[in-house]
Amino acid sequence: MSFLELQWITATPDIIGNVYCGIISIDFEIKQSVEFFMWPFIHSFKRFSLLFIIGFVLSASSLSAQQVVFAEDFEYESKDEFLENSGWSGDLDDFILVQESGNTLLRLNNQSPESNNSSQISTISTTAYGEWEFFYWFESFAATDANRAFIFLLSDIENLTGNVNGYALRTGENGSDKRFRLIRFTNGAASVIATSETQILQDRAYQIRVTRSETDGWRLYVSEGYGSTPMLDEEFASMDNTHQSSSFFGIRLHYSSTRNQQFYFDDIIISRELENLIVEKIDLINANQLEVTFSQSLAKNTINPDKFRVNRGVGSPQTAILTGDTDNIVELYFANPFDDGEYLITINDVEGEFGQQIDDNTEVSFSVLNPFFVEAFDVQSRTEIEIIFSQDIQPGGNISEKVVLNGSTKAHTATLSSNNVVLLQFENLLDEGEYTLTINNLESIENWKIEPGTVIHFSLQNTFDVTTVSLAAPNILEVIFTDPPDEYELAADNFALNGNGNPGTINYDPSATPETVTLEFDKSFFSGEYSLTIINVKSDFGWPLSGDTEFGFNVENPFVVTGFETDGRTGFMITFSQDVDTFSAADFQIEGAGQPDNAALEENDRIILTYENPVPLGNQKIIINNVSSSEGWEIEPETTIDFSLFDEYEEGDLVISEFYYRVPVSWRTDEFQRPQYVEIYNRTNKLLNMRNFTINGNNISIDRDLPIAGREYLVITRGVPVFEQRFGERNFVEADQFPQLNLTSSSSIIFKTGEGHLIEELTYTAGTWGGNEVSLERYSFDAPAGFRDNWAESVDVLTGSPGLPNTVAAPADPPVAVSASFPEPRTLHITFSRTLTGQSLQNLSNFSLNNNTVFNLAAFTDDERTIEFKTEENLEDQFTYTFSYQDIGDIFGNTVSGTQQFEFIFDNPFRILSAWLENETSLRVQFTLPTNTSAVNLSDFQVSDGTLPVSLAIPNSETIELNFSSPFDTGAYEIVVNNLESFNPDISEQWELEANSSAKFFRFDDYLQGDIVLNEFMYRPPAGYPRYVELHNVSNRFL
């Protein structure tokens, strides 16, 4: 075979302790903490020999190994067999199989060479990290640019002469300095990333091994001679990770016409790390079908029903079928449907595509919940019931026998009105009362059976009634019923109105909602009380009216004024609830201004009144009469509109400019125990009215005008006398209602219009904002009020500037990064000197971190100065990071010029805090954070001299006690710890202890009187020198 997928081989009578590979026999014994690899030479194997590589790394209880995933020794009976069975593709006609000393090699054999030639072959290989070993011989010539090989270890395409992405080992070049060089190809462009110390000599044969790992990167091993042991080339090294996946391995040769038969290859081996085979998930497909998904592709010949067994008497499936795009899903079909409940499936002897065997008696739990149930239920009439099921129903069978009402009554007919809907029809009318519907033996098309004895309880109650009687137009009455009336029995005689008789016409639209019957009378209604009597009306369900049959209602004229706007002091717009029909200027009067000079209709429902002379400022009223609507209504006589003449408030006109929440205690009085103020500034030239405006829901001017002039500071207070005494006469206003702002904790200031529209809001925290016995003034009216950075303590000598411009000025320098913190793994918090704009985070490329750190996300935290960054990988412990940022700005418009940097050191917070001996054989290790106690193992701990603990205990979440079989001798020791993680339920990812973390501990001799003496002391040192006392241990004991 040319391809061998190799497996772990358990000991049998044929393989007991020795591994034989060709002429090599190696005895081995696995010992703790000893690592050894055996790479047997394979050229003497016959075509069907078993070819394998075994590698053990045993540390504590873990075991890993390299797995051969491709092996090619070219031992074919003929070239035809090579062409048909090898799996290679490309320029295969340019190669031939030749014999050398009883061994078959692949040799270039282009029978029609030109001056410059290129031949390539490739085969499937997905190995991107692992080992590639092969034999290479170029016969009787020195390598040049025109005569050399490219051995592609990784390639994304089959044709190696195309725009390939991958890596290749190049074997020489022009000149005297010929080396093995690792070439990275990106879209076909080549770059040298590693060069060997080994020089390529003329007419030599080389045994070559290339390795790649995430920790050591690319390494090269080279030796001369067929079957020799490759040795490490110390100069050849690279950590390049540009390409991390592969689809093909191959060989590309460049040669002249005279070298067309002088390239040889043999014994190609590709290996990689073995991965454990596990079950990833189990899905219930239908009533008797499970789908088991494994972590990797499976060996098809290991899949059969006997390998799977479900508890609770279910047993093995009838069939087990391998499916999925990557052959990692097994579909199991069972003879009978599953019942509801919890199950365990046991799996044995299933193998991965490379021979990885699942753990013996692997158990996976899954739950079954019957998805076939009654989803909805509807009593459609007194003779029809509709039942909707969650799945389509199995056709056939007498459904009326399976659904019984009140234990004995069966439907006259039971049919499927759709695939999942059963319609029951009864001969007799159902009366009011309690009912029970029982369902048995019903089955879905997915083989689920309804739970036996499924019961639906329902009751019938006559709810047919009138909910509303209302006027829809001057002569039209609407009657709304709770349920659809029987339209075929509706008549004018069913309805009688006191004073107006029966309606002339009645209308009912069964498709409309709510269920409304329209009664049209011959004459219009006027405001007043009415009574409607209804007789002989039934619902379409068959119920008569269940309640009253006489209904009183009031008529309210719907033609009213709905809006009023002013245009300065000469224009007024009145909006009505309906389109206007007739009106005149004489229909409108303003006290003190008379009737308007002009009245014009605009947009049908609006009338514009125009006065030549301005109407006086202040409180005014318009009286309206005789205006009629296009729907026949006339405005109520003496309709009045009260208004005041002010400019209209618009968003941004007013701002909170200053507030004083904690005045000195000495300012307090018996009347005002907590005097406070909030200053409002009018940024416009308009005269505005703060009538019914609120602060924190407290109305500062209840139903009275509160004017604020343009560019004016108006100070809303609790305690005007207090502040006038401290600041003199300023623009203070005593609020009708004023909120109580907290003195020592956080509190909000929410400023709204009388209509409830938000003007501005902020929430201060006393501990961080300041403001103790001094007011807080705002830097910028353009930046939001809610940012802490937009406020500062007043520098006015009177501790505030109420009614006057603020004394603080906004910062003019750009923001800078000032600190870094790490709330959890892969989460970085950077705090800036002040709040950034939201636009600063729109481009994640504005921020970067060295050490190849990649940011996935950036977002503001609750602290408005702090940005949270999510990184792809964990940060490196004790590494000095440089955080770079650019093109960001703060809320005051200050922007960062160029790229700025901030350095910090990442310190993993999960460390060993201390270690000490509790007694001769017990050692306690304390950590800086609580540990995940469920994952602590004895194998995680080892003393530096190799001593291992025999047991452990966990006295508390941060401490682990290790017990040893023998007492410690006097001296200094070091405990080494691995594989621990922290436990913090409040973070999404736990901290991991750094590898080989250690702490010193000591076993001391007992102190005896006289062991330690005072040897020297300095009590009055020269300037700049310390005082000290020197002790001397005069004994030979370790104290």
List CB contacts of 322: < 8 A, sequence separation 6 or more: 298, 300, 303, 329, 330
Report whether CATH 2.60.40.1220 matches the domain 374-460: yes
Residues 272-313 pLDDT 10s: 877 789 999 999 988 899 999 998 888 889 999 999 999 999
Residues 642-678 pLDDT 10s: 887 888 899 999 999 999 999 999 999 999 999 999 9
pLDDT of residue 65: 54
pLDDT band at 499 (very low <50, low <70, confident <90, very high): low
pLDDT band at 961 (very low <50, low <70, confident <90, very high): very high
Fold category of 279-368 in CATH: Immunoglobulin-like (2.60.40)
Q: How far apart are the first and last CA of the chain?
A: 70
Could you tell me the pTM of the whole model?
Answer: 0.42
Residues 397-444 pLDDT 10s: 788 888 889 888 888 888 888 889 999 988 888 888 899 999 988 888
d(CA 605, CA 621) in angstroms, rounded, equals 20
Fold category of 817-905 in CATH: Immunoglobulin-like (2.60.40)
Residues 365-385 pLDDT 10s: 999 988 889 989 898 888 889
Query: Do 912-1003 and 374-460 fall under one CATH topology?
Result: yes
Over residues 968-996, mean pLDDT: 95
Which residue intervals of 766-852 are DSSP H helices?
766-769
Domain spans in the chain, listed from the N-terminal domain onward: 18-69, 70-273, 279-368, 374-460, 466-555, 561-644, 661-683+698-793, 817-905, 912-1003
Question: What size, in residues, is the chain?
Answer: 1039
Fold category of 561-644 in CATH: Immunoglobulin-like (2.60.40)
CA distances from 975 to 51, 915, 923 (A): 43, 8, 9
Assign 79 to helix, strand or coil.
helix
Residue 840: phi, psi to the nearest 5? -65, -25
Kindly state the greatest CA–CA separation across the chain. Answer: 127
Assigned architecture for domain 912-1003: Sandwich (2.60)
User: Closest Cα to residue 284, out of 351, 339, 347?
Assistant: 339
**Beta carbons of 806 and 792 less than 8 angstroms apart:** no
User: Closest Cα to residue 817, out of 907, 722, 883?
Assistant: 883
What is the helix (H) or strand (E) element at residue 460, kind and residue range? strand 454-460
Average pLDDT, the chain: 88
pLDDT at 553 over 60: yes
CA distances from 292 to 281, 286, 319, 375, 621 (A): 6, 13, 13, 29, 81
Strands (E), 775-927: 776-778, 791-793, 817-824, 827-832, 847-849, 855-860, 866-871, 880-886, 899-905, 912-917, 922-927
Residues 885-928 pLDDT 10s: 999 999 999 999 999 999 999 999 999 999 999 999 999 999 99
Highest mean pLDDT among 17-26, 47-56, 466-475: 466-475
For domain 70-273, give the CATH superfamily: Exo-inulinase; domain 1 (2.60.120.560)
What is the helix (H) or strand (E) element at residue 80, kind and residue range? helix 79-85
CA distances from 584 to 134, 146, 563, 596, 844 (A): 106, 104, 19, 10, 65
pLDDT of residue 10: 28
Instruction: Tell me whether residue 510 is exposed, middle or buried, using C-beta atoms within 10 angstroms of its C-beta: 0 to 12, 13 to 18, 19 or more.
Output: exposed
- Tokens representing 822? 């790490």
List CB contacts of 226: < 8 A, sequence separation 6 or more: 43, 103, 135, 137, 205, 207, 266
Residues 840-884 pLDDT 10s: 999 999 999 999 999 999 999 988 899 999 999 999 999 999 999
pLDDT at 60 over 50: no
pLDDT of residue 622: 95
- Tokens representing 874? 């964990």
CA distances from 199 to 171, 210, 496 (A): 10, 16, 115
Over residues 987-1014, mean pLDDT: 94
What is 466-555's CATH number? 2.60.40.1220
pLDDT of residue 970: 93
**Beta carbons of 860 and 867 less than 8 angstroms apart:** yes
Indicate left, alpha or beta for 368 from its phi (over 0: left) and psi (-120 to 50: alpha).
beta
CA distances from 574 to 221, 564, 588, 617, 641 (A): 94, 5, 11, 18, 9
- Tokens representing 698? 């407290």
